[in-house]
Amino acid sequence: MKLDSDLSIRNAELFYSSCESEYAKGGDVSIDASDVDRIDTTILQIITALKMRLEFEDLHLNITEPSAEFIHSAELLGLASILELTVSSSS
């Protein structure tokens, strides 16, 4: 699943539906976060919930090529380690 560049509460319902569709397939889920320029708390919470649901069923969420903004936003919310993101070296 490729993430859009601007992810906010305005498109949270559509994003949640996409996550549900991926989850329903019954396997590991990969998210390409390379194009993310803006992501808010709501979307990161949905991603975190998806990861937890998958782990409960011994499945995995793989976040590939997270953008600097994706990592920075996750760090600010204390979710970088939960989402298994590499901590950015820039400030």
Q: Which residues of the chain have pLDDT under 50?
A: 88-91
Q: Is the pTM of this model over 0.85?
A: yes
Tokens found for residue 59: 């499945």
Q: What architecture is domain 6-76?
A: 2-Layer Sandwich (3.30)
**How far apart are the C-alpha atoms of 37 and 49, rounded to whole Å?**
21
**How far apart are the C-alpha atoms of 16 and 20, rounded to whole Å?**
6
* Amino acid 90: pLDDT: 44
Residue 39 backbone dihedrals phi, psi, to 5 degrees: -145, 135
Domain ranges of the chain: 6-76
